[in-house]
Every structure is written in structure tokens, then in C-alpha cells.
Chains A and B, each alone.
Chain A
Amino acid sequence: DAKTTQPPSMDCAEGRAANLPCNHSTISGNEYVYWYRQIHSQGPQYIIHGLKNNETNEMASLIITEDRKSSTLILPHATLRDTAVYYCIPTLISNAGGTSYGKLTFGQGTILTVHP
């Protein structure tokens, strides 16, 4: 599994964009970048994932650098309910060998605090 580096904590003002970086310089060609978050006392929640193209859904945008060694999760208009721990997780998506499905390797993540 690729190692990841995320800042331990970040702050963001409500209504502003939150940009959460992740370094995954050892990511392999068949590993997607997944982002999950965990709000206090809840189970982790899927946000978005991508391989090499930028992705956007109703929750967030994911920007992956061309060399795929880093990515940034963007919450365009952060709200207080976005306060959570955000995890960047390179994950083998190929079913070859079936070794990664269901297995997410969580790091320490980034504690994002959104302030009023």
C-alpha cells in the first residue's frame, strides 16, 4: 500500500473552500485515490475517488497531479457539518488477486475544523 502524508489538522472558515492536501508519492499505477471522512462518533463516509483525472461530485472535487504523487480534496463551501477527520487512501482497485477489496488502509488523516 502506498504511504500517505496529510497535515494533522487544518482550519477553515464557514462558507470558504477547504483544500485538503495529500502526498502519496509511492502510489502505484493501479491504485486509485480514495477520500473518506469520519465525523465524530460516526463510521467513515465515502467522499470521492479518482485515478488520474480530476473528479467532482455533489460533495467535493478531487484534483490529482499529473504525476499522481499528490492530490487535493476541495470542499467548495465548507459548513460546520464538514468538521471531521479526512482520510486520503490509495487503494488497489483492480480485482486481480482480490487482495484489496474491502480493505482500506487508513492513515492518521487530517482533522478539519470549520469555524463560524
Chain B
Amino acid sequence: KAGVTQTPRYLIKTRGQQVTLSCSPISGHRSVSWYQQTPGQGLQFLFEYFSETQRNKGNFPGRFSGRQFSNSRSEMNVSTLELGDSALYLCASSRNRDLIANTGELFFGEGSRLTVL
């Protein structure tokens, strides 16, 4: 079956602009999480969505937001881009929120690489 699909794979923006990244989870998966990966900070959790509601949030400023649609697809938005927002943004999906029943495995996409100039 198809994996987690993220678009676009690469993009370049300038400071002050905003960006929207898209994530299509594996078919049947209802939970979507977002992560930021930078050389300095490593992989950091941004937020998690389930049933169109944000269930968990990491320690990022309000410029980072997201949403989930009824078909479980998710988007994240970063407004007023800063140079430090340059990163690989990763999306992960899983069938539901019950780790015990779900083996706890998150399936990651290949990411969207954002460069802010």
C-alpha cells in the first residue's frame, strides 16, 4: 500500500513569507503527527492530529499551526518565516491513537525540505 506522502518535497521561501505543507497519511490511518528536523536541534515534535482535532502540541511558537481534514489528510502552516525555520518537516501517521492496539508504530513520510532565504 502507498506510504505517507508529503508535498512539496522541496521548497524555497524568503523571510516573512508563509508556507503550507501537505501530508497524506496511509489509507485508513487517522492520526497524523508533524516533526521538524534541523542539524542543531534534531527531530522535534510539532503537533498531532486525530479526528480533525489537535490532540498534542510541542514547544513551538504560534507561527506554526496545522489542521486535519475529514479524510485524515493534514496540512501544516508556518507564517512569517524566519531563517531558523529552514528544516526538514516530517509527517507521520498511524491507524489510531491506541498504542497498545496499534503496535505503537509511526509511519513517516520522506519529508518536505524547506529553505528560508
Q: A34 contacts which of B48, B98, B104, B111 (Cβ < 8 Å)?
A: B104
Q: With the chains together, A45 CA to B90 CA distance in Å?
A: 12
**Complex Cα spacing A91 to B104, Å:** 9
Give the residues from 35 to 86 in chain B that come closer than 8 angstroms, CB to CB, to chain A.
35, 42-45, 48, 50, 55-56, 58
Please determine whether B100 and A43 come into contact, CB atoms closer than 8 angstroms: no
Query: In terms of DSSP, what is the predominant structure of the interface of chain A?
Result: loop
Residues of B within 8 A of A (CB): 4, 31-33, 35, 42-45, 48, 50, 55-56, 58, 90, 92, 94, 97-100, 103-111
* Nearest chain B residue, comparing its CB with the CB of A106: B43
Question: What are 7 residue pairs bridging A and B, where the CB atoms are less than 8 Å apart in the complex?
Answer: A46-B106, A95-B97, A98-B56, A100-B99, A102-B33, A102-B56, A102-B92
C-alpha gap A98/B96 in the complex (Å) = 12
Determine whether A44 belongs to the interface, using a CB cutoff of 8 Å to chain B: yes
Bound form: Cα–Cα A53–B14 in Å: 50
Asked if residues B106 and A104 are in contact (CB atoms below 8 Å), the reply is yes
Instruction: Flag if A101 contacts B97 (CB, 8 Å).
Output: yes
